[in-house]
């Protein structure tokens, strides 16, 4: 298994950079692997296309989801929903072709497709 979740010290990081959300929530995520590559599904309710940042840097895939400012009307009576932005970091399998990573978001679920490079796919070599 080459994709692993990096548990970083999120709050220390945020404190250092003095960004406004003090903590990120880790979205619930599924990772599937297949011959062709990997698929990640991450749940980020309240995040639309414009609130998503997916970056690949130095073999690390970072997913950031900023929740839009939802207009809540009235005073809160009961609250369970956490308003934190989402953050998820993976170390990428080096066989992934980072140029062909695709992302889409549908009703708060981000789907990332990470195809493996053609050169590493298993293939049969014909004996001449």
Partner 1 sequence: MNIVRYQRYPHSDLSVALGQLTNMRQELDRVFESPFGSLLRPLGSLNRWNPAVDVYQDKDQFTVYAEIPGLKKEEIEISFHGDTLTIGGERKREGNTEDGFRSERFFGKFQRSLTLPLPVNRDQVNATYKDGILKVVLPKAEEAKPKQITVSLN
Q: Which residues bind partner 1 (CB under 8 A)?
A: 1, 3, 5, 7, 9-12, 23, 25-26, 28-34, 39, 41, 43-48, 68, 70, 72-82, 106-109
The nearer residue to partner 1, 38 or 125, going by C-beta atoms, is 38
Q: What are the tokens at 117?
A: 């490079």
Q: Would you say 32 or 128 has its CB closer to partner 1?
A: 32
CB nearer partner 1, residue 48 or residue 97: 48
CA distance 83 to 46: 9
Which residues neighbour 100 within 8 Å (Cβ) at sequence distance 6 or greater? 115
Backbone angles phi, psi at 71, to 5 degrees: -80, 95
Q: What is the CA radius of gyration of the chain?
A: 18
Contacts of 5-8 spanning 24+ positions with Cβ under 8 A = 5/88, 5/89, 5/90, 6/60, 6/89, 6/90, 6/91, 8/89
The residue (of 73 and 126) whose beta carbon lies closer to partner 1 is 73
């Amino acid at each position: 298994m080459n994709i692993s979740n990096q548990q970083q010290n999120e709050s220390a990081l945020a404190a250092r950079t003095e960004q406004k959300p003090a903590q990120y929530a880790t979205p619930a995520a599924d990772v599937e692997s297949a011959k062709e590559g990997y698929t990640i599904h991450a749940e980020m309710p309240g995040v639309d296309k414009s609130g998503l940042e997916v970056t690949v840097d130095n073999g690390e895939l970072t997913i950031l989801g900023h929740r839009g400012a939802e207009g809540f009307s009235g005073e809160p009576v009961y609250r369970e929903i956490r308003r934190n932005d989402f953050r998820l970091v993976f170390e990428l399998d080096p066989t992934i072709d980072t140029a062909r990573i695709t992302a889409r978001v549908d009703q708060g679920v981000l789907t990332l497709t990470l195809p493996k490079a053609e050169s590493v796919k298993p293939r049969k070599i014909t004996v001449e």
